[in-house]
Structure 1
Amino acid sequence: MTSDNNQIKNITWQDIEPLILDEKYKEFFKNFDPETFKLVLDEENKSKVTESILKMLKSTDPENATPEYANEIIEIMRNVVNKIQEIKPMDLIFTTTSDDLNLPGFYYPSKQKDICVLFIHGMSGFILENYFGHVLGRTLQTNNISFIFTHNRGYAHINDIKTNKVNSEGGFETVRNGAVYERFEKCVPDIESWLKKGRELGYKKFIVIGHSLGVSKVIHHFYKSNPEDVIGVILASPPDMVGLVKKTEYQSNYEKLLDEAKQNIQNDNPRKLLSDEVWDWYTLSSQTFVDLFEENRPADNLPILRNPEKFPELESITVPILCIVGENDDIAINSLEEDMTILKNKATNVTSFETYILPRANHVYDGEEKGFAEKVLDWVGKVRR
């Protein structure tokens, strides 16, 4: 091991976990000091590492506290460290939209350039609070599939996104967005700018993953742009945005908020904040609320509750789809199984539509990040061929 390899020097459990494929060993390493991984490539340290492993095994798994089993673990550790050394560091990159917003993204490059997976986050999402996105990126990257965790203008609750316009002080002007103020239809230039960035990086084909509201954005972008180099779409935790506020158990004061929002827009105050939260969590501007939650607006492209004969935007997708939800997700309109069946039946032009319910997982796959990543990896591998 070279001491100047910063990826090894700063190794954490978050780096290690995606590379431990056997659940039997994962539980062991979860409580293991990552510092020990730095020692395994040096034969002089083998006895010290073996001693640490045996000590831990005696307290956690006495039956396997043998030198032979310790050597198995050391071999796994060496493989992990070698893989980490091969992986290029995650990189902060930017793309500029057609309306001059500089959006940040996190790039997990691989050696192969045939395909790149783009991740489109949901309401207020961003990478600092999205562990499953990081695990997904690392998992794909270690399997020679590049990944970009993209940010659209709706990242975080409020943000100030830099433009290229110089202000009076010599700096750059910013535009305030975030979940509070974003306009849904701007997802089209946002996603288009990330596809353009991927092409600039040398990729020829893309798979686009939308999570939660990001699903609605991915579908709307496909409907508007019909990108020829997108070869697959993943709908992760797909929501009926309008249904999730019209059902009283989710939002008891929907009609009141809609009337209030429309009145504010009529009074030429579309950015005025509403008097109450959505889902006891989101404080939204009036225009954003109408964009996302009024019937027949562009965000209303998965109307499971109303269940009309056709879902035109979903019908526009002509490539394979994976629809994945957590077993404990709280977005169901009917049941998770029924909702996914409706979506599958409405996606009439896809070449395939696979559904999967991830056991024990919630809306953001807490504790089941690896299972989510492995399912995506498996599906991407099939589409990639």
Structure 2
Amino acid sequence: MIPVLLTRIKTSDGITLEGVVVLPKKKGEFALVWIHGLTSRFSSGQTLIKELSSSCAKNQIAYFKFNTRGHDIVSQGTKKKLVGGAFEKFEECVRDIDAVIRLAKKLGYKKIILAGSSTGANKALYYQYKRKNPAVRGIILASAISDMSAWKTGDAKKMSRAIRIAKQAKNKDTLLPQEYGIYSAARYLSLFEAGHAEDVFPYHNPKATWKELKSIRVAVAVVIGSQDEHRDRPAKNIMDAFRKNAVSTRQNFSKQNLGGQAKSFSGIIIKGTNHGFQKHEQKLSREIIKWIHRETLR
């Protein structure tokens, strides 16, 4: 049995977020902050929480997983504001992550490994791009699949109609017709129209600048399942795009393209697993702990 602390934090704009903290018996310097995916929540993925938090505890690493304001489909933000996956403004994830890191530091963990899965990976990368927080010593992007992949894996004509309806909406908080999913007009555009702040994994665009990834100075790990059902191309091709833009090489360096500046890059493809790493949680946990020791604890 792993002892856990269930607690609440408040963001700078007054939104209360619930979460779980697992502290090691022997305290270290590092904390792993895990950001959940779209419409998920802090309690989702119980098997992975158990595997990862127990592995962290054995290695003197604290584990933090909290709701973001994008938890569930619709949730209450403030008295006058609905959030959740249907209504959240992606850029406001910075305030959510700030609040979690603030708690970790308050508890004495000054060095942060910032990790996110799926949309949580977008948020982790975007956070460090915006904040450049010196407490963050490494970034893990799990299931880092671009939402733009849906244009190839889904119904492109239907998505085009939804984009058109969303753009025409006078009130961008208006929900789209239910056939397009439960999203406000603004949320749908953020997810599925290229060029928005959320589009931080632009391997779909050969002319993309990758400015968010190229701004990162700490160690970066990208973890993808070889059978991720949301990918529109082989996992290796996705990983090659990340590697090319995370660190500078002779192949990608030029006056126009200064290349990435990450301390290091690790691309981890877990064979046989899907977007949520179901039935491979132990393998994912082992790979993450091994990477933390190799790239951040040294």
> Normalized against structure 2, the TM-score is what?
0.89
Aligned match of 1:218: 124
Distance across 2 between alignment mates of 1:366 and 1:317: 29
Percentage of matched positions with identical amino acids: 27
Kept in 2, the 8 Å contact 1:235–1:322? The answer is: yes
Q: Render the CA deviation track for 1:294-321: whole Å, top value 9, x for unaligned.
A: 2211001111111225200110111111
Kept in 2, the 8 Å contact 1:277–1:284? The answer is: no
Aligned match of 1:98: 12
Q: CA deviation at 1:248?
A: 5.6
Q: CA deviation at 1:276?
A: 4.2
Aligned match of 2:263: 351
Q: In the alignment, residue 274 of structure 1 is paired with which amino acid?
A: L
Q: In the alignment, residue 65 of structure 2 is paired with which amino acid?
A: F
Aligned match of 2:42: 127
Tell me whether 243-252 or 370-379 shows the greater mean CA deviation. Answer: 243-252
The yes-or-no answer on 1:335 pairing with 2:248 is: no
Distance across 1 between alignment mates of 2:271 and 2:194: 32
Q: 1:275 to 1:174 in 2, by over 3 A?
A: closer
Tell me whether 130-139 or 182-191 shows the greater mean CA deviation. Answer: 130-139
Aligned match of 1:272: 174
Distance across 2 between alignment mates of 1:160 and 1:346: 38
The yes-or-no answer on 1:371 pairing with 2:283 is: yes
Q: CA deviation at 1:225?
A: 0.5
- Stretches of 4+ moved more than 6 A in 1? none
Show structure 1 runs of 5+ residues with no match.
1-14, 16-86, 164-172
- Paired residues for 1:89-238 under 5 Å: 89-110=3-24, 111-131=26-46, 132-161=48-77, 173=79, 175-238=81-144
Question: Which of 206, 212, 223 is matched with 1:324 structurally?
Answer: 223
Q: In the alignment, residue 21 of structure 2 is paired with which amino acid?
A: Y
Tell me whether 198-207 or 139-148 shows the greater mean CA deviation. Answer: 139-148
Distance across 2 between alignment mates of 1:94 and 1:251: 40
Q: Determine helix, strand or coil for the equivalent of 1:354.
A: strand
Distance across 1 between alignment mates of 2:215 and 2:57: 30
Let me know the Cα RMSD of the aligned residues.
1.7
Q: 1:263 to 1:174 in 2, by over 3 A?
A: closer
Kept in 1, the 8 Å contact 2:153–2:232? The answer is: no
Kept in 2, the 8 Å contact 1:185–1:298? The answer is: yes
Distance across 2 between alignment mates of 1:184 and 1:275: 21
Q: Determine helix, strand or coil for the equivalent of 2:43.
A: helix
Kept in 1, the 8 Å contact 2:18–2:42? The answer is: no
Q: CA deviation at 1:271?
A: 2.1
Q: CA deviation at 1:237?
A: 0.5
Q: More relative contact order in 1 or in 2 (CA 8 Å, sep 6+)? A: 2
Show structure 2 runs of 5+ residues with no match.
247-259
Distance across 1 between alignment mates of 2:50 and 2:174: 34
Kept in 2, the 8 Å contact 1:123–1:154? The answer is: yes
Q: CA deviation at 1:190?
A: 1.0
Q: 1:142 to 1:186 in 2, by over 3 A?
A: same
Instruction: Considering fraction of residues, name the structure with more helix.
Output: 1
Kept in 2, the 8 Å contact 1:244–1:250? The answer is: no
Q: 1:316 to 1:205 in 2, by over 3 A?
A: same
Q: Determine helix, strand or coil for the equivalent of 1:198.
A: helix
Structure with greater Cα Rg: 1
Aligned match of 1:284: 183
User: How many residues in Structure 1 have an aligned counterpart in Structure 2?
Assistant: 282
